Structure 1
Amino acid sequence: MPAIKNILFIMADQLRADYLSCYGHPHIQTPAMDALAARGVRYDHAYVQAPICGPSRMSFYTGRYVASHGSTYNGVPLRVGEPTMGDHLRPLGLRTALVGKTHMAADAEGIRRLGLDTASEAAIFAAQCGFEPFERDDGLWPDRPGSYDIAYNDYLRAQGYEGDNPWHTAANSVRGDDGEVLSGWEMRHAGRPAIVAEEHSETAYMTDRAMDFIDAAGDQPWCLHLSYIKPHWPYIAPAPYHDMYGPDDVIPANRDASERDDPHPVYAAFMGHEESGNFAREEVRRTVIPAYMGLIRQFDDHIGRLFAFLEDRGLAQHTMIVVTSDHGDYLGDHWLGEKQLFHEESARVPLIVYDPRPEADATRGTVDSALVEAIDLVPTFVEAAGGTVPGHILEGRSLVGRLHGETGPWRDAVFSELDFGFRKARLDVGTEPWASRGVMLRTERWKYIEYGDLPPQLFDLETDPQERTDLGRSDDHAAIRADLHERLFRWLRDRRMRITTSDAEVEARTDRHKAAGIPYGVW
């Protein structure tokens, strides 16, 4: 079949799957994503390899599990030598670029050890997760010298917004009743509009920059990773999105008082974090969630604008489009804030894939309930671009066959990992940094989680889809836990560790020592 010419890989940060109308949210409307799902395939059970920005993205970009690539938490560098999406796609002729966020920490020590010139192309790719940084902006710091030097701040100042860091003081702050600047990091201000005008907001700006890249690429095939910061905190939306939804649009929290009775030690520690204590209050949820919903609607409106741009340029029929997220957001569900643990609200993400080729016509507008992982995207892109998937490196599975209606065997479990060594939870639980790890195995029915020497967790998703009853210490489920423990161990044994030699080369070299002139063991 013909190869895909272009790939548009869109990611929204901290976007829950169930906060899109095509995934069933009763109030929020996301017409652009709904229309894309009608033209493509919506995956109903897509999971990230780590429910937090950095390691999740490193798995998206490498096609490998966290246990394999080793970047376990935000700020933990992805080691030099890990092949990334760009390394796989550039040899196929695709200019592979970034607009927005990666949360990638460069392996500066590895780059130095190899003696790479930091201005060289090789060092830039190594420091930028394999992408050409057309415009990188991780947008995280309110008041940290050295973090202000981003093009978006230059843009805001050119629009008349003053200050060293208008990303914080304009795009993510609001005005009080007396005109004073109020920081968006204080969630009590989430109901007020951002100081910045909507057309100057992060989401609008990054969409414009994506269009700039596409125009600059001309006729050259490309893969663009357009990575939006929102609806990630600070939960501040520009007008009119700040009050497009109200407290009555907030759906009830998925939580039960029984979850606080003798919880798992790690779960209890995360419930004790400040963000969880705040999101346990309805006042906070009813203030923050409408702004979160508004940011999602703004994101949808701008990707709709981008899709129209592709149509106007005659590019839509040559471009594979993917929309997903790096993790979810608890928003008070299970008495938690933020993300990181393995409930559906945190580890499950939206995934919509549009393949423009006629071979995908049979699946257009369908919902695929197969268990899908973030690491499946790199092999999908490689196959779609006409390449051969390097199975000794990539641990995901290409979705191209499923997009084209194939119904062969598929995986029966997905996996996700957690390094909580950097969080206060580790101190509360009393584990060493190296031992503060969790890993999730999710089958069609069961979700099983291990935390080293601590007790496991187990949820029956058939009888308890809301994950409110932990069976990790239930005597009646000991045999099920033992079976899932062995499956988890088998998964760990199957990791792709030999990435410098292909399976084909192993086949060619099998039992060839004598032909190679090494006749050992001969009498």
Structure 2
Amino acid sequence: MNILFIMYDQLRFDYLSCAGHPHLHTPNFDRVAAMGVRFDRAYVQSPVCGASRMSFYTGRYTSSHGATWNGYPLKVGELTLGDHLRDAGMQSWLIGKTHMTADVKGMQRLGIAADSMIGARVSECGFDVWIRDDGLWGEGPDGFYDQRRSPYNEYLKSKGYEAENPWHHNANSGVDEEGQTASGFLMRHAGKPANVHEEHSETPWLTDRTIDFIEEKRGQDTPWLAHVSYIKPHWPYIVPAPYHDMYGPEHVLPAVRDEAEKDDPHPVFDAFMNGRIGKAFQRDDVRDVVIPAYMGLIKQCDDQLGKLLDYLEDSDQLDSTMIVLTADHGDYLGDHWLGEKDLFHEPSVKVPMIIYDPRAEADSTRGTVCNALVESIDLAATFVEFAGGEVPDHILEGRSLLPWLQGQVPDNWREFAISEYDYSSQPHAQTLGLAARDCRLFMVTTERWKFMHAEGGLRPMLFDLQADPDEVNDLATDPVYAPVLSEMYERLAKWSRRMSQRTTMSDADIDARRGKSGRRGILLGVVDETDVSEEALVRYRGPAAGRP
């Protein structure tokens, strides 16, 4: 049994037809949903790429692994999915993006060479790399955003694309009426077709690399997990023909927002609403060109998923491959007067999660929807159990989803889900005049309530998801809801008291050690020979020792 762990970057939970989108038809996402279980309340541990992904890969909350923002290194000592799966006899491979930054200083301190096998795995979230490309090859006055070599750029050059950076000039730009580059970073160009042949664009390129990988591994005895991590539908919002004009303004859903949200808003919410990104997505002319391109990117992802599914079926590997479809976060697209991600409204922090388990034990749940509160960190535990390993619950903070896939209700399933956000690197931190360590947000969501706590002495936010599923009425300042706020703060306090840092000793290890110190000669509180066994005193009896 192998695992295809497929992640799409910035894919909203509700931009799939199986999740109810009225215009965007995604038959291949729906196909996997019909084969497995769609988890309708899956939350990421941070609504930003790097921090979210490090939680997926470590199975730990962001305040546990510490990589709380893009470019923040993952500590050299953090165990990752690859480490746990190799212990269970399964390989762990990367095909695509991780947005991981290696802890170079930590590796140097420990004498770990980056070009060694251990160093390479530490530098890549524990994965062995088939191909890594984070798809962020923007270039400005200070150079490239990503300092590494771009395999995708090299691929495009091998196909005859002549630009120095064809990722930008071809795959993520169009051509204007005067034959000039129409950069995808300028959202007014979103409706133009990308200046690349569709079969050479990023999503088909990664699908082909995935099929190459599976073909190479086919017939080998060692099972594998392949983390297939697509950059799309992440910005730049531009897509090649024929996907660029499949959708238009008539397919753009009305923004979920209310003028009441601007009436005495939470200071952090207000800062994001009034930032450049928020103001851009408040414009209907921006939404009318960006969202159709975003939908086209998703449609291309769906078509490429179909190509991958057909390959697995035609090669008789579908029945031996678990398939997981998810995203690292969503995209506001103008909802709540915001763009991008960052805060804790559903379009940002809730993600699609669809799991197909090919084994007979999962037959009873095929085509169903699970409404349990699920966290992204649950996937690591799921994969370890699927691989036949024992979940190290003193390290992995999530729980296996296999019982849900098999029609069981696990004992003591969580009553609330957590997400965290460190916005200290954002310009809004300066707008608010906060120190870096105070720029932290915490979300607690239950079946009914969603609560946000802000450090820095700022007030909380509170939404009633039953009465107000669109999350437009912040109830935190209404004294009627003070008991609910107290209850949510109690839940946050309970979570904050979790045992998260004793990762080198499991409870079983501790239980096995209890009472053993006496058998190694450490006798504390012993008054005389009647307090311990004769055996414990054997090495402490006999004639007195001589001295020089």
Q: TM over 0.5: same fold?
A: yes
- Aligned pairs for 1:33-432 (under 5 A) are 33-143=29-139, 144-145=143-144, 147=147, 149-218=149-218, 219=220, 220-409=222-411, 410-432=413-435
Work out the CA distance in 1 between the residues paired with 2:65 and 2:520. 33
* CA deviation after TM superposition for structure 1 residue 514, in Å: 1.4
In structure 2, what is the equivalent of residue 10 of structure 1?
6
Work out the CA distance in 1 between the residues paired with 2:35 and 2:405. 11
In structure 2, what is the equivalent of residue 476 of structure 1?
480
CA contact (8 A) 2:329 2:341 kept: yes
CA contact (8 A) 1:41 1:364 kept: yes
* CA deviation after TM superposition for structure 1 residue 495, in Å: 3.6
Work out the CA distance in 2 between the residues paired with 1:490 and 1:394. 18
Q: Which amino acid aligns with 2:26?
A: T
Work out the CA distance in 2 between the residues paired with 1:391 and 1:142. 40
Contiguous gaps of at least 5 residues in structure 2: 528-548
Work out the CA distance in 2 between the residues paired with 1:213 and 1:111. 29
Percent pairwise identity = 55
* CA deviation after TM superposition for structure 1 residue 148, in Å: 6.8
Deviations 1:136-189 (A, max 9, x none): 011113213464721111110111111221001100010001221111100000
TM-score by length of 1: 0.98
Work out the CA distance in 2 between the residues paired with 1:148 and 1:501. 37
- 1:309 aligns to what SS in structure 2? helix
Number of positions where the alignment pairs a residue of Structure 1 with one of Structure 2: 519
TM-score by length of 2: 0.94
Work out the CA distance in 1 between the residues paired with 2:369 and 2:484. 30
Work out the CA distance in 2 between the residues paired with 1:343 and 1:247. 24
Work out the CA distance in 2 between the residues paired with 1:244 and 1:417. 36
Q: Which amino acid aligns with 2:54?
A: M
CA contact (8 A) 1:61 1:378 kept: yes
Answer with 1 or 2: which has the greater Rg. 2
Deviations 1:479-507 (A, max 9, x none): 11011101101101014211011111111
Shift of the 76–148 alpha-carbon distance from structure 1 to 2, 3 Å rule, reads closer
- 1:206 aligns to what SS in structure 2? helix
Deviations 1:193-231 (A, max 9, x none): 000110000000000001111111132311000000000
**Does 2:518 align with 1:514?**
yes
Q: Which amino acid aligns with 1:475?
A: P
CA contact (8 A) 2:363 2:406 kept: yes
Q: Which amino acid aligns with 2:205?
A: Y
Deviations 1:297-351 (A, max 9, x none): 1001001100111112211111100000000000000000110100000000000
More displaced, 133-142 or 454-463?
133-142
Q: Which amino acid aligns with 1:16?
A: R
- Aligned pairs for 1:23-42 (under 5 A) are 23-42=19-38
Q: Which amino acid aligns with 2:154?
A: D
